[in-house]
Amino acid sequence: MTELKFWNTLTRAKEEFQPIDKNNVRMYVCGPTVYDFAHIGNARPVIVFDVLFRLLRHVYGADHVTYVRNITDVDDKINARALRDYPDLPLNEAIAKVTEKTADRFHKDAAALGSLEPTHEPRATAHIDGMVKMIQTLIDKGNAYVTSGREGREVLFAVGSMPDYGKLSNRKLEDQQAGARIAVEDHKRNPADFVLWKESAADEPGWDGSFTEGGESITIHGRPGWHIECSVMSEHHLGETFDIHGGGLDLIFPHHENEIAQSCCAHGNDRMANLWMHNGFLQVEGKKMSKSDGNFVTISELLRGEFPGWEGGPWHGLVLRLAMLKTHYRQPIDWTLKKLLDARSTMQYWSLALANWSDENWQVYQDSGFRTLESDPYEEVLQALSDDLNTSDAISFLSRFFDRKDYKDEMDKLYSSLSLLGLVGERMLSANPVVTSNSVGGEESIKMFSLATDYGIAFANNDSSSCSSISDELASNGWRIAKINDHHIDLAIEKPTVEVQALVDHRLELIKAKNWAEADRIRNELLAKGIQLKDGKDPETGERVTTWEVRR
């Protein structure tokens, strides 16, 4: 069996992975809080841990891996968004609308990024009873207490009751004393104590939490703290101790630290999960992502090509995935337009190579429902992923592989390798339809080419005359051909649009009016979209004319 080694945040070392039960490898990853559409930073753990899920399924068998990714659907941010977006509705109805809309968008985004669905996707609101039960256990063991704060009664976790609190984040409790990083609150025994349950106001969502402390029965109509949710959902689906817990680097403290405190104290264990894996931070064009800086970009904005200043889109989900995986998951990533353009260029090259695969093998793959063929991936790819999920090395190997002349003899291994990275599937075909002269021609070719996406379509055949015929048909239907070789049309560029021509015509009017600044602005705007203008003169009238072409 393949030996897997991963960096463990808990021990700060790379360790050989030994599952508790090889017949049921268990992984939990913190999912979204569904108050807003997921941004590109949220996409990173979705993609990273999907690759890990695929790797574990390959090594241990698809039926022997359980992947849980939760949805947090009770949170003060959700309440605030509901009040903002639906002020005329009762709060609970407004909350339902917000969470339904946002969770649906998240699922569509995750699917577009080529990610498999997790085995279980629990929602916090379905586990309230379990949270109340765990909180009571913590009270009984002296790890939690009931108190009254500024906003009502609360149940707090007493961090001082856990001797090794802070082990995951390497923070000492004495470094978090009052007056330092945490504000003093009189109702807390220690300033680092955190909320397990808090009272809800009359207009806030809540449940009756019944607790007993010191023989006194206490009912608090309230809602859970964020940390207790994951402790309960992970236990419900994976048990008291499981194999892997994942998430972003920003979750180490306080979220994951507090999960460990709750779970270990409630169950009397020294570990909640054996292996803790965290992906690195993401910034956009060299800056921390923030709405105030105008560089806050959601996954859906990129998929639709609606992020201001990045007019090269829409960006296909597999292009976003490839761009993300080119950087090792533990390293910081600078999300740039250049990174996306490079990833798209790689996908262009790969798709053209894949288009030359024989019709017979392609049909087998298509008939399989775009599942991996019965072949192992390349050993170099498997070894790279087995060494702390080194996707960057795996992609580098595949890039070199595509430069070889004999890749067609091993296409099944190539597809298995790409599948292990989540870079092939039905979405790849729909994003990059392949038209072969043996099966499609004439009007059907035009129909297929009209499905062109942000990185074009490969057309492959062995008949140069057929290439010329198809290219003539494409040209007559308004397409511009980037390049024709002896045996294939490399790319059929997107059909000219009314909007582009309207801008070109408007620019000519600006030039006539000698508004050079605005004319240059339009030229630069189109160039940013990959459209290059060429000015010239009509040979008969001598008037200025402008043609355009797509620059690749």
Local confidence pLDDT in tens for the 552 residues of the chain: 789 999 999 999 999 999 999 999 999 999 999 999 999 999 999 999 999 999 999 999 999 999 999 999 999 999 999 999 999 998 889 999 999 999 999 999 999 999 999 999 999 999 999 999 999 999 999 999 999 988 899 999 999 999 999 999 998 876 654 333 344 578 899 999 999 999 999 888 899 999 999 999 999 999 999 999 999 999 999 999 999 999 999 999 999 999 999 999 999 999 999 999 999 999 999 999 988 888 899 999 998 888 877 766 678 888 899 999 999 999 999 999 889 888 877 776 676 566 555 445 555 555 554 444 457 899 999 999 999 999 999 999 988 876 665 555 677 788 789 889 998 754 343 333 333 333 333 333 333 333 333 333 333 333 444 445 555 554 554 444 444 444 344 433 344 455 577 778 788 888 888 888 888 888 887 887 667 888 888 777 778 888 877 554
pLDDT score recorded for residue 176: 57
Identity at 118, one-letter amino acid code? P
Strand order in the sheet with 481-484: 435-436, 459-460, 488-492, 481-484
The rounded distance, in Å, linking the Cα atoms of 319 and 454 is 10
Dihedral (Cα; 541, 542, 543, 548), 10-degree rounding = 110
| Residue-level pLDDT at 488 | 40
- How many angstroms separate the CA atoms of 495 and 261, rounded? 58
Q: Which amino acid is at 193?
A: D
The SS3 of residue 61 is coil
* Distance between start and end Cα atoms, the chain: 44
Determine the pLDDT at residue 412: 74
pLDDT of residue 409: 61
Which pLDDT score is estimated for 496? 47
pLDDT for 363: 54
Query: Are the C-beta atoms of 317 and 382 separated by less than 8 Å?
Result: no
Report pLDDT for 426.
43
CB crowding 433-471: b at 16 or more within 10 Å, else e? bbbbbeebbeeebbebbeebbbbbbbbbbeeeebbeebb
379-386 helix and 40-60 helix, angle to the nearest 10 degrees: 120
* pLDDT value for 203: 81
pLDDT at 535: 87
CA distance 389 to 404: 25
